A and B are shown apart, each in its own frame.
Chain A
Amino acid sequence: MREMFYRHRRLFTILALPYLILIVLLVVRTDARAYVPGDLVPIDEVITLEGEHVHETDAFHSIYVMGVDRPTFFQRGVAFFDGNVIIDDLPEHREGLSDREIFTANQISRQSATHAAIIASFKAAGRTIDYEPFDTVRLVYPFADTTLRQEDELLAVNEEDDVRKALEEAETGQMHTAKVLRDGEETAAELYRHADGMYGLSLARQYRITSSEVSFKVHASLIGGPSGGLMQALDLYNRLSEEDLTQSRVIAGTGTIDAEGRVGAIGGVREKLITAVDKNADIFFIPEGDNHDTALDVKREKDFDIEIIAVDSLHSAIEGLKEGEHE
Chain B
Amino acid sequence: MSKTLRGFRKRELFLSTLTGFLFALFILLPFFLVWINLIILYMRHAEWFLALITLTLAVFGYLSVRFTHKTLAMYRPHTLTKRERLIEGVSVAALLAGAGLAGSLYFLAQF
Contacts and interface: CB of A to CB of B under 8 A. Distances in A.
B70 A4 contact: yes
A127 B22 CA distance: 64
B71 A4 contact: yes
A74 B23 contact: no
Interface in B2-34: 15-16, 18-19, 22-23, 26, 29-30, 33-34
B79 interface: no
Nearest to B32: A26
SS class, residues of chain B in contact with chain A: helix
A26 B30 contact: yes
A252 to B, nearest CB: 15
Interface residues of B, number: 24
Contact of A66 (B15, B18, B41): B41
Contacts, number: 56
Given A4-B19, A22-B30, A39-B44, A74 B71 contact: no
Contact of A74 (B37, B42, B74): B37
B41 A71 contact: yes
A222 B18 contact: no
A85 B40 CA distance: 13
Contacts of B44: 36-39, 66
A195 interface: no
| Chain A interface category by residue count | 20 to 34
A223 to B, nearest CB: 8
B87 interface: no
Contacts of B70: 4
9 contacts: A3-B74, A4-B67, A4-B74, A22-B30, A26-B30, A26-B34, A39-B44, A66-B43, A75-B41
Given A36-B41, A222-B111, 6 more contacts: A1-B15, A4-B71, A22-B30, A38-B43, A68-B41, A74-B34
Closest 8 CB pairs of A and B: A26-B33, A1-B19, A75-B41, A74-B37, A39-B44, A1-B15, A4-B19, A22-B30
